[in-house]
Amino acid sequence: MTSSSRETSVARENDPVLSSDQHTSYDVVVVGLGPVGAAAAQLLAREGLTVLAVDPSRQPYDKPRAIGIDHEALRLLQKLSITDELSLYMGPYKTSEYRSAAGQVLRRIVPQPEPHPLSWPPYSTFIQPELERLLRGSFDRWPTLDVTLGSRVLTVEQNPDEASVTIEDVDTGTKRLVTCRYVVGCDGAWSPVREAMGLQLEDLKFDEPWLVVDVLVNETADLPDAIIQYCDPVRPCTYVRGPADLRRWEIMLLPDENPTDMVDEKVIWSLLARWMTPDQGRIWRAATYRFHALVGKQWQRGRVFIAGDAAHQTPPFMAQGLNQGLRDVANLCWKIGEVLKHGADPALLKTYDEERRPNARAVIELTKTFGQVICEREPGAAAERDKRLLEEMQAGRGEIVRQDLLPPLVGGLLLKDATGGHAPGTGTVFPQPLVITSEGERRMDDVIDARFLLVAETGWAPTAPDRVLADRLGVTLACVAEAPVDGIVTLADTSGLIESWMSRNGVKAVLVRPDHVVFGSVRAAADVSGLLGALEHALRNPDRTKTEAGPDQMSEVH
């Protein structure tokens, strides 16, 4: 063991010598099997990698935590073939209204209008225990995935060639040593993997105590058909209309209130008295939390990565915590697959931190800003807030489309032009329309299971060298057309989403990564060769994501 590996290992005492039959090797070890870890394990197995997934809990947590799921997350879960069943436990994510203590509407955050750009509702409510059940129930589909429940990770060590993980059965104390190429820590806010690597969290200065109550209501309850942020300085709170009979309240605790006392059922019903009475429903869960705004200062150390709550903790005011975690593993897992299965430069993995960390930080900062609006308890400041927001509403600036708030990626494996800038659309998520097939309408990703996808305007046909290079890179070639085009995939997009996206961004062809993020685009379909060449160069030289073309060609490639 090298000195550097000693610095990144968990302290341990009296470890037994492990026999060779307890020593197994995998491509990746995933630590933690909440929704983020369970999705990561299956995405990696889907890449054809050998994966060990470890969690100390033998059963998923049976109470709801996250309640909002967005269309990017559903598109990822679509790859795992669980969304049809999950949709049975989903409901519409209604308009969110910010209301003053007097009941005035201060702000509205509204759903994205149809046609839905990713073919899923942009935001939905859902029941998290059902998602976790479906994720764990699909483990058996992946022959290269081994799952070890009821075991915890004791140590994580690494050297230049591999990482090693010591695992202990929580019941018997039996230990097992596993080696792997990479470790992904999805092990929650108190992440042992993060601690083992000595990775620090940056405090973004938001720390507020709240009570979260989930109630299963009956037909006599008369509750708002909306999501409401009660911006009342006496006691700020949030109401969420969940799916089916689930309703949630998030209630800010006051400085003199003891969190332990606040989960008493009598106290809870007294807090809910303005909305309902005990005969109108039953409490499913009540828990107190401190809502934090934290982000890891570094998400990778050598062969070890962190994701989800291990990497960031987001206040709930935009329902982004789980969605951020699923974006993390969507970003990371395909890159590990490219390195281990397709020969990409291992430096590609550095772009995970470069892309996701600043993006997650920006979302957390935005969420914190919304939280500060809601949490204002000083009466004078609250009155000023109300005045300002009412003026914005009257001026037509108080209604915001929820998805418009989320920033694109801005660094990492995104194509730069000669000036160092990006073309429109680069770093955003490419649409997934419903397309016409012989079987009827289907979501595009179900028709094209692509590593990389190049989509060009109607009438484009690739050159022979383009076909050869695309095949070598694992790029599926497609164009928007109703009639077949020889040798490429044709997309009959009846909604016009793709053509609208291209027109809006002023481009004729676009190259999309496996996580559906736009790598780059060109303003003329004749420049597709340069776009493919740029991808090949980027996968071999991830630190320099621009083309090797000459100056004249460089200016054309976006």
Beta bridge partners of 443: 434
Q: Buried (b) or exposed (e) across 486-504, using 16+ Cβ within 10 A? A: eebbbbbbebebbbebbee
pLDDT of residue 82: 98
Q: Tell me if 86 sits within 8 A of 116, measured CB to CB.
A: no
Strand order in the sheet with 123-126: 68-70, 123-126, 90-92
Q: Characterise 380 by phi-psi region: left (phi > 0), alpha (psi -120 to 50), beta (else).
A: alpha
d(CA 510, CA 259): 52
Helices and strands counted in the chain (H then E)? 16, 27
Q: Which residues of the chain have pLDDT under 70?
A: 1-23, 544-558
Q: What is the DSSP string of 103-120?
A: --EEEEEEPPPSSPTTSS
CA distance 508 to 407: 23
Domains and CATH numbers, the chain: 3-89+121-199+296-363 (3.50.50.60), 434-554 (3.40.30)
Predicted confidence (pLDDT) per residue in 393-415, tens digit:
999 999 999 889 999 999 999 99
Q: What is the DSSP track for 399-431?
A: EEEGGGGSPPP-SSS----TTS---TTTTSBPP
Element (H, E) at 380: helix 379-394
Phi and psi at 533, nearest 5°, equal: -65, -35
Helix (H, G, I), strand (E, B) or coil at 183: strand
Q: What angle do CA 317, 320, 325 make, to 5 degrees?
A: 150
Q: What is the pLDDT of residue 558?
A: 35
Question: 311: number of CA atoms within 13 Å, CB side?
Answer: 33
Of residues 305, 310, 423, the one with CA closest to residue 355: 305
| Residue 85 tokens, joined | 């069943």
Name, in order, each residue with C-beta under 8 angstroms of 234's C-beta and a sequence gap of 6 or more. 101, 377
In this prediction, residue 374 carries a pLDDT of: 96
Residue 419's pLDDT is what? 81
Neighbours of 19 (CB within 10 A): 9
The DSSP bridge partners found for residue 162 are none
Sign (positive or negative) of CA dihedral 323, 496, 467, 46: positive
Which two three-digit tokens encode residue 264? 């008493």
The rounded distance, in Å, linking the Cα atoms of 205 and 542 is 34
Query: Left if phi > 0, otherwise alpha if psi is -120 to 50, otherwise beta: which for 266?
Result: alpha
Which residue shows structure tokens 């689930």?
A: 246
* pLDDT number for residue 2: 34
Separation between Cα atoms, residue 367 and residue 168, nearest integer Å: 38
What is the pTM for the complete model shown?
A: 0.93
Asked if residues 491 and 479 have their Cβ atoms less than 8 Å apart, the reply is yes
Query: According to the model, what pLDDT value does residue 523 have?
Result: 93
334 backbone dihedrals φ, ψ, rounded to 5°? -65, -30
d(CA 266, CA 289): 19
The DSSP letter of residue 463 is: -
Cis peptide before 115 (omega within 30 of 0): yes
